[in-house]
Amino acid sequence: MPETVSLCFATQNCSWVLSSWTQCNATCGAGVEELQWTCPTGSESDCGALPSTHRNCYATSGCMWLASNWSTCSSQCGYGTRERTVTCSGMSEEDCGRARPDATEVCHETAACSWVEGEWSSCSSMCGQGFRTRNVSCSSGILADCDSQQPAILESCYNISGCQWSVSSWSACSSSCGTGYVNRTVACESGAKA
């Protein structure tokens, strides 16, 4: 009986098959990857012109945030803010994926802080020894920011503006017959002797 099946070999519909490709040669941004093509027959001539062995690629795995140095603090005494530039090494911020670092933050400086001294109060005594007070603050509003010795807020004072003489009654005459003398006590209210 003659054969009913026989082998044949056709190439008119053969086409290249992409078998493998390399990783993108860039880790952040545009790059190129190499392509490996295979002809199903095993003979490259059966598949005609070889397709391009390279294609463009875009990777983001190596993209990172780039931050400049911080600026100086906006305040040299107390709380302020400072800034820096934050950019993604890729074409857009989306390429960096992770949370974007802060470009602004609160800062605190004390280099220019100084004591602010208020006026002294009136003396607590109108006559004699007393004390007087005043307000002393740090220019930042925080006492700990001024590192030098805090000026006094309390000091003694001596006032005579309200002092008066205290005069007792005259004593009896020292003589009961003839010339004598009488005396009395005269004192300053502050306690000083007349």
89 in the same domain as 34: no
- According to the model, what pLDDT value does residue 6 have? 64
Mean pLDDT of 101-109: 97
Q: Is the pLDDT reported for residue 3 higher than 60?
A: yes
74 vs 3 pLDDT, higher one: 74
Q: Is position 176 within any domain?
A: no
- According to the model, what pLDDT value does residue 139 have? 95
What digits encode the pLDDT tens for the residues 127-167? Answer: 989 999 999 999 999 999 998 899 999 999 999 888 888 88
- According to the model, what pLDDT value does residue 161 have? 86
The pLDDT mean for the chain works out to 89
121 in the same domain as 188: yes
- According to the model, what pLDDT value does residue 56 have? 93
Q: Is position 177 within any domain?
A: no
193 in the same domain as 140: yes
Q: Is the pLDDT reported for residue 179 higher than 90?
A: no
CATH number at residue 22: 2.20.100
Mean pLDDT of 39-60: 86
77 in the same domain as 9: no
pTM for this structure?
0.59
Position 121 confidence tier, pLDDT thresholds 50, 70, 90: very high
Q: Is position 89 within any domain?
A: yes
- According to the model, what pLDDT value does residue 192 have? 55
Q: What percent of the chain has pLDDT over 70?
A: 94
27 in the same domain as 6: yes
Q: Which domain holds residue 14?
A: 1-62
Please tell me the total count of domains within the chain.
3
Q: Is position 34 within any domain?
A: yes
What digits encode the pLDDT tens for the residues 18-34? Answer: 888 888 999 999 999 99
Q: Is position 149 within any domain?
A: yes
Gap between the Cα atoms of 175 and 178, Å rounded: 6
Q: Is position 175 within any domain?
A: no
149 in the same domain as 121: yes
Q: Is position 98 within any domain?
A: yes
119 in the same domain as 88: no
Q: Is position 8 within any domain?
A: yes
- According to the model, what pLDDT value does residue 8 have? 62
Mean pLDDT of 112-139: 95
Tokens of 160: 């005579």
53 in the same domain as 1: yes
69 in the same domain as 5: no
189 in the same domain as 127: yes
- According to the model, what pLDDT value does residue 116 have? 97
Q: What percent of the chain has pLDDT over 90?
A: 55
Position 120 confidence tier, pLDDT thresholds 50, 70, 90: very high
